[in-house]
Chain A
Amino acid sequence: MNIVINGHPQQLTSGKILSDIVASYGKPSRHIIAELNGAIVPFDQWAQTSLKDGDALELVTFVGGG
């Protein structure tokens, strides 16, 4: 399936779970926030959220800023 993660098109095997995708981006933590197709997915729902073709996922976290 084709999905877009942080603006980058990616090809993944279907049925990927959100928590696995976040894990591939680094240590999953509450300090990472996931937004799927514009809606925030709470941390405790990551393991039950599977992605489908055409999804757009944003993964953000805290960085230094003024």
Chain B
Amino acid sequence: MANDPLVIAGKNFSSRFLLGTGKFKSKKELGESIESSGSQIVTVALRRIDPERHEENILEFIPPHVTLLTNTSGARNALEAVRIARLAKASGCGNWVKIEVINDSKYLLPDNQETVKATEILSAEGFVVLPYISPDLYTARALVKAGAATVMPLGSFIGSNQGLKTREFIRMLIDEIDLPIIVDAGIGAPSQAAEAMEMGADAVLVNTAVACAQNPAGLARSFALAVEAGRLAYLSGLPLQLPSAEASSPLTGFLYDNIGSN
């Protein structure tokens, strides 16, 4: 939308839809999805090179105008996250990092305390830090102090497509935290993304739902439209919900009214 940029660390983005690049069946589908969604920030991960598998270089499928956000997936504590962030920076691909510290394999919930520690260290080193957390007000406040550029609360379990299960906790962050709130993880349908934006979230990040769709580029586009629609709804001011009916048509002048007679 014109004149309503998402601003992160002083950088303006016209798109409020962030795309993850994992799980795509092909790099071609990924490239098409970035293009169709108009996403300007995409996440990538770092892994050991496997000489047995000659994979295409993912960066060749990401247009140069797109901001790379390297995640620290695989990190089980703050120091491992810091190590991954430094490695990513050494590639010359920028200093934006999504802190992701996870040491639970069933629910894949982020470790908020370790995330705050990593944020402190990396912010002090000049990284633009976007920490991924379980939505919690105290953690978010600590992240503000630690120098985070945004706060990224999860909507529901990673890859679960369950939508905004943490709705009320995200709402608190939107109300109380003076940083962009980017809803990350668990968003499985454009309607869920729109709901987050209508609540006042600043952006939404989706990966699994798009990557695993029958037509990833189509779903990526629909997510981008839903995010834009939700944002416009939020800016336009949504009406309150009422417990009973409130007629939309006038309640006078009906055809059967006999004027002047009893």
Contact = CB atoms under 8 A, between A and B. Distances in A.
B48 interface: yes
A34 to B, nearest CB: 8
Chain A interface size, as a band, is 20 to 34
A48 B47 CA distance: 25
A30 B49 contact: no
A64 B91 contact: no
Interface string B109-149: 00000000000000000000000000000000000000000
Nearest to B207: A66
Contacts of A6: 48-49
A32 to B, nearest CB: 7
A63 B146 CA distance: 28
Chain B interface size, as a band, is 35 or more
Contacts of A40: 86-87, 90
Contact of B46 (A7, A29, A42, A60): A60
Given A30-B91, A40-B90, A62 B46 contact: yes
Contacts of A3: none
A30 B90 CA distance: 9
A42 B90 CA distance: 7
Nearest to A58: B48
B1 interface: no
A26 B205 contact: no
Interface in B205-226: 205, 207-208, 211
A65 B24 CA distance: 10
A59 B30 CA distance: 24
Contact of A61 (B21, B47, B73, B207): B47
Contacts of B43: 65-66
A26 B54 CA distance: 7
A35 interface: yes
Interface string A1-36: 000001100000000000000001110011111010
A63 B208 CA distance: 15
Contacts of B44: 62-65
B58 interface: yes
Nearest to B49: A59
Contact of A62 (B20, B23, B51, B57): B57
Interface in B161-215: 185, 205, 207-208, 211
A51 to B, nearest CB: 16
B90 A33 contact: yes
A26 B20 contact: no
Closest 6 CB pairs of A and B: A65-B45, A66-B20, A66-B207, A64-B21, A6-B48, A64-B22
Interface of B: 20-24, 30, 43-49, 51, 54-55, 57-59, 70-71, 73, 86-88, 90-93, 158-159, 185, 205, 207-208, 211
Given A59-B48, A62-B93, 16 more contacts: A25-B51, A26-B49, A30-B92, A31-B91, A32-B49, A32-B91, A33-B91, A60-B49, A60-B87, A62-B57, A62-B58, A62-B91, A63-B45, A64-B23, A64-B211, A66-B205
